[in-house]
Amino acid sequence: MKVTLAEFRASAVTPAAIPAAVHPEVAIAGRSNVGKSSLINRMTGRRSLARTSRTPGCTRGLIFYNINDALTLVDLPGYGYASRSQTERRQWKSLVERYLATREELACVLILIDCRRGPQQEELDLAEYLSSVGLVYVYVLTKTDKLSRSELSRHGAVLRAAVEPAPVIATSSESGAGIDSLWKWIRAAIATERQG
């Protein structure tokens, strides 16, 4: 997909602050060090649309990005953020779950996984939760440029076996590998949601 417009639209740290939906939405979820911001920047062709940081867990709420005045990417707070308080984590969990369970315009969710680490229990729990509320999702492998081709093939096979029949797309924010395939999957998911 050719992105001609990519801009920050809104952020929300409470349910009341969540903006009204204007386009189909695609949520992006993953651990706080999985490379969500880098993937968003690569997907949109913008170097600094989403802020990247050496300190994990910087996303403190839902962040909404307008893409081509046609869809909205929604960056969810990273989980696994050990530096945050238990209270803050509970608030984020409640915010995210409410958004995922009630947002009618949410077409699909990208679950990001560091290809070097594979799926953790948190990713599997998230997938189970998404299934329970009827949301379509895809596993997105990140940082594939950190592995050799043989290592990536081996890690990918293990992941696919662990999560089948869910789809898996391998990507690299560095090289751009897999980004076109990811956009293709997103377009298909939105089209299916509209038909439904």
When pLDDT is averaged across residues 79-95 and rounded to a whole number, the result is 67
pLDDT over 90 (residue 194): no
pLDDT over 60 (residue 59): no
When pLDDT is averaged across residues 26-55 and rounded to a whole number, the result is 87
In this prediction, residue 80 carries a pLDDT of: 60
Which stretches of 13-166 are assigned E, i.e. beta strand? 25-30, 62-67, 71-75, 106-114, 136-142
**Would you place residue 56 in the very low, low, confident or very high pLDDT band (cuts 50, 70, 90)?**
very low
The gap from C-alpha 15 to its chain's centroid, in whole angstroms, comes to 19
When pLDDT is averaged across residues 10-31 and rounded to a whole number, the result is 94
pLDDT over 70 (residue 17): yes
6-195 in CATH: which number?
Answer: 3.40.50.300
Which stretches of the chain are assigned E, i.e. beta strand? 6-12, 25-30, 62-67, 71-75, 106-114, 136-142, 168-170
The gap from C-alpha 155 to its chain's centroid, in whole angstroms, comes to 20
In this prediction, residue 46 carries a pLDDT of: 93
Higher pLDDT, 53 or 49: 49
pLDDT over 80 (residue 123): yes
CA distance 8 to 106: 18
**Which residues in 96-122 are b (16+ Cβ under 10 Å) and which e?**
beebbeebeebbbbbbbbbbeeebeee
In this prediction, residue 105 carries a pLDDT of: 95
Burial class (CB within 10 angstroms; exposed 0-12, middle 13-18, buried 19+) of 13: middle
Closest-CA residue to 80 (of 29, 32, 37): 32
In this prediction, residue 196 carries a pLDDT of: 62
When pLDDT is averaged across residues 142-167 and rounded to a whole number, the result is 89
pLDDT over 50 (residue 173): yes
CA distance 76 to 44: 17
**Would you place residue 89 in the very low, low, confident or very high pLDDT band (cuts 50, 70, 90)?**
low
In this prediction, residue 162 carries a pLDDT of: 86
pLDDT over 80 (residue 79): no
Half-sphere exposure of 188 (CA within 13 A, CB side): 10
pLDDT over 80 (residue 30): yes
The gap from C-alpha 62 to its chain's centroid, in whole angstroms, comes to 11
